[in-house]
């Protein structure tokens, strides 16, 4: 592994906050690539003045994510790589059961309870239902006729319906939880708006937990309720995490991935000619797009050396997964979308103990939805010039505002 020191290059300035400005919709900010080329573990001045670190290199990122000397605990992470909507106010403490804000052994306890619900076998059993949901959405699009916006008609409803069925959440309430989720993920939301959305989701799911307690059904949430190992607050928190993350992330991938294929017609032609490439295609889209573009964030619990750089106890570390997944030290021709690339190694779902719990479900949804869309509409193309397609850069999960298509 190439070793870098903390005082290597003076040509790449120390960024003030995480770079988020993109020159091209499908590519990470160019400043991240320039930083990675010179110092994959670099100083970054956080918006509150804290001198922490930014990791843009693949090997360094894997090392940090796998090292339990770097903590995810919300009470330890006091500095954010983007402006904090709470300003000088202290954000609300993490609710009991917030997996992404806990370290082992607390994290291990909750993770163990959920792992059995997200086995590859169980996710594969859902494939038939996902296929029916997808075909129903495509029927509705075809019936309405061209043009169509694939964000509200395809990308958002499919994972929303799937996670509702898995958890046991009534889909009739989708507008409510989609609205609240969008507020929570919108980096421009005020602290007041975020707290209001969080309170609304918590109340909604709290009522649902009590309903499941009184009348359990055959779904994941009922299983957790009747299992008896979680209290009310823990159940609500876990339900909230799974519901919000379970539809927002896959929805963004379905829309952005479709756009990426339309913008790379040679790759789209390969997939049409060789449908068996779909598994590779999904992994490559996950790598190439990497929609989790803010963080993850860790704090060093003790002095740790990473890639030749000493990170001191108490210092905050932000990882840029989009930059990591475009690192040429790990991926040949990393800036190109290549659906024949070996489908291993990316960190779009994270790495280590906090690796995404629902990754197999997301994979199955994409493996079903992309081919079904392309089969149903063989003439699928953008209904507007590509430069008129706009992204939601000001969101915790990167994605499109709309995807107008015709066929």
Q: What pLDDT was estimated at residue 7?
A: 41
3-state secondary structure of 25: coil
List all residues 6 or more positions away from 141 whose beta carbon is below 8 Å from its beta carbon: 148, 150, 153, 154, 376
Tell me the C-alpha distance between 264 and 246, whole Å: 27
Q: What pLDDT was estimated at residue 63?
A: 98
User: Cβ-count burial of 50 within 10 angstroms (0-12 exposed, 13-18 middle, 19+ buried)?
Assistant: middle
Q: What pLDDT was estimated at residue 117?
A: 75
Nearest Cα neighbor of 371 from 299, 276, 297, 302 is 276
Q: What pLDDT was estimated at residue 274?
A: 96
Please list the alpha-helical segments (H only) found in 94-231: 106-115, 120-125, 127-144, 150, 157-167, 174-185, 191-214, 220-227
Nearest Cα neighbor of 307 from 289, 327, 286 is 327
What strands, in cross-sheet order, belong to the sheet with 41-45?
Answer: 41-45, 51-55, 316-319, 297-300, 70-71
3-state secondary structure of 190: coil
Kindly indicate whether the domain formed by 30-406 is annotated with CATH number 1.25.40.10.
no
- Count of other CB atoms within 10 angstroms of residue 339: 23
Residue 278 has, within 13 A of its CA and on its CB side, a CA count of 17
**Residue 246 is encoded by which pair of tokens?**
């379970």
Cis peptide before 147 (omega within 30 of 0): yes
Give CA angle at 350 (348, 356), nearest 5°. Answer: 95
Q: What pLDDT was estimated at residue 191?
A: 84
Give CA angle at 206 (201, 210), nearest 5°. Answer: 150
Tell me the C-alpha distance between 308 and 333, whole Å: 26
Tell me the C-alpha distance between 384 and 388, whole Å: 6
Q: What pLDDT was estimated at residue 91?
A: 59
User: DSSP per residue over 280-332, as a string?
Assistant: HHHHHHHHHH--B-S--EEEESS-EEETTEEEPTT-EEEE-HHHHTT-TTTST
Residue-level pLDDT, tens digit, the chain, 407 residues? 333 434 444 456 688 899 998 999 999 999 999 999 999 999 999 999 999 999 999 999 999 999 999 999 988 998 999 887 766 666 566 677 788 888 999 999 899 888 877 777 777 778 899 999 999 999 999 999 999 999 999 999 999 999 998 899 999 998 898 899 989 888 888 888 988 999 999 999 999 999 999 999 888 999 999 988 899 999 999 999 988 888 889 999 999 999 999 999 999 999 999 999 999 999 999 999 999 999 999 999 999 999 999 999 999 999 999 999 999 999 999 999 999 998 789 999 999 999 998 899 999 999 999 999 999 999 999 999 999 999 987 888 999 999 999 99
Q: What pLDDT was estimated at residue 2?
A: 37
The structure's pTM equals 0.92
């Amino acid at each position: 592994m190439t070793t870098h020191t903390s005082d290597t290059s003076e040509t790449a300035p120390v960024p003030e906050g995480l770079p988020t400005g993109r020159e091209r919709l499908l590519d990470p900010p160019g400043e991240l690539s320039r930083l990675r080329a010179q110092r994959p573990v670099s100083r970054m001045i956080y918006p509150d003045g804290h001198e922490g670190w930014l990791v843009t290199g693949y090997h360094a990122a894997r090392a940090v994510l796998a090292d339990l000397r770097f903590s995810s605990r919300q009470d330890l992470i006091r500095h954010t790589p983007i402006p904090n909507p709470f300003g000088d106010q202290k954000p609300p403490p993490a609710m009991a059961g917030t997996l992404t804000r806990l370290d082992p052994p607390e994290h291990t306890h909750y993770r163990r309870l959920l792992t059995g619900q997200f086995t590859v076998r169980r996710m594969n059993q859902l494939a038939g239902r996902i296929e029916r949901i997808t075909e129903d959405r495509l029927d509705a699009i075809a019936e309405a006729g061209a043009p169509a916006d694939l964000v509200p008609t395809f990308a958002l409803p499919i994972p929303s319906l799937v996670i509702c069925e898995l958890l046991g959440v009534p889909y009739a309430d989708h507008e409510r939880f989609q609205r609240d989720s969008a507020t929570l993920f919108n980096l421009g939301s005020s602290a007041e708006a975020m707290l209001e959305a969080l309170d609304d989701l918590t109340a909604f799911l709290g009522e649902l937990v009590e309903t499941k307690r009184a009348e359990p059904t055959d779904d994941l949430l009922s299983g957790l309720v009747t299992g008896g190992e979680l209290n009310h607050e823990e159940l609500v928190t876990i339900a909230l995490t799974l519901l919000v993350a379970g539809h927002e992330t896959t929805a963004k991938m379905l829309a952005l991935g479709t756009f990426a294929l339309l913008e790379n017609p040679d790759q789209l032609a390969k997939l049409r000619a060789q449908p068996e490439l779909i598994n590779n295609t999904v992994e490559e889209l996950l790598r190439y797009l990497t929609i989790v573009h803010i963080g993850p964030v860790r704090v060093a619990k003790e002095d740790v050396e990473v890639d030749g750089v000493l990170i001191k106890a108490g210092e905050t570390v932000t990882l840029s997964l989009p930059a990591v997944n475009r690192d040429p030290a790990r991926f040949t021709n990393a800036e190109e979308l290549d659906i024949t690339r070996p489908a291993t190694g990316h960190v779009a779902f994270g790495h280590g103990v906090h690796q995404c719990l629902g990754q197999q479900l997301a994979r199955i949804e994409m493996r079903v939805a992309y081919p079904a869309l392309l089969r149903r509409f063989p003439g699928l193309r953008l209904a507007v010039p590509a430069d008129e397609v706009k992204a939601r850069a000001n969101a915790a999960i990167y994605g499109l505002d709309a995807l107008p298509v015709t066929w």
